[in-house]
Amino acid sequence: MKHSKKSVLIVILFVFASLCFVACGGEDSGEGEGEGEGEGEGEGEGECDVVTTADKICENNEIAFGEDFKAGEAILPEGFPDAPDGTELCGSLDGLAQQVIYSVTATSEEIVAYYSDALEAAGYTIDSIEDDADKCGSTINFSSTEVTGSVAYIGIHSEIIITLI
């Protein structure tokens, strides 16, 4: 089933808002700035503060989505590119859209370069690549004859969300 780009973006925005609500409203680690392990450093113009580190994002998604979150499962079409180095599978949501969430320590540039090449090699068309300075990330919008989707790198939450419609 193929959906419009507008539908994909609406679903993505809904997920971002949900994750921001959970991640930003979650527990405070009590650590001061500069005490982390470097996730997100060097991205953008130095204005990106990591709100949720890679080691917490899987746990936050499990709490946020409860029983609907399939921890440790990647519900992706056959032949979809594997996740790159610097990622760890958190799990999937299967509803109006399929979503797979990974924690990430790789940079936005590394993720965009990897998925741009891997998606094209797997037969997908890259429709656009958008930078999102507010989230210190990027979104790759792609399509094929069977599916439309996106790979969103969200630097402030140390995660990648793959959405398929």
**Going residue by residue through the chain (165 aa), what tens digit of pLDDT does each one get?**
444 554 444 444 344 434 443 444 444 344 434 333 444 343 334 567 778 877 789 999 999 999 999 999 999 999 999 999 889 999 999 888 899 999 998 888 999 999 999 999 999 999 999 998 777 899 999 999 999 999 999 988 889 999 999
Q: Is 88 domain-assigned? A: yes
For residues 72 and 91, is the Cβ–Cβ distance under 8 A?
yes
Which domain does 54 fall in, by range?
5-28+50-164
What is residue 80's predicted lDDT score, i.e. its pLDDT?
A: 96
Q: Residue 161, SS3? A: strand
Q: Is 24 domain-assigned? A: yes
Q: Is 77 domain-assigned? A: yes
CA distance 69 to 155: 21
Which of 84, 68, 154, 92 lies closest to 116 in space, CA to CA? 84
What is residue 46's predicted lDDT score, i.e. its pLDDT?
A: 52
CA distance 112 to 78: 21
Tokens at 84, concatenated: 């790159």
What is residue 4's predicted lDDT score, i.e. its pLDDT?
A: 52
What is residue 158's predicted lDDT score, i.e. its pLDDT?
A: 87
What is residue 68's predicted lDDT score, i.e. its pLDDT?
A: 92
Q: Is 42 domain-assigned? A: no
Q: Is 110 domain-assigned? A: yes
Q: Work out how many domains the chain is built from and give that number.
A: 1
CA distance 112 to 132: 12
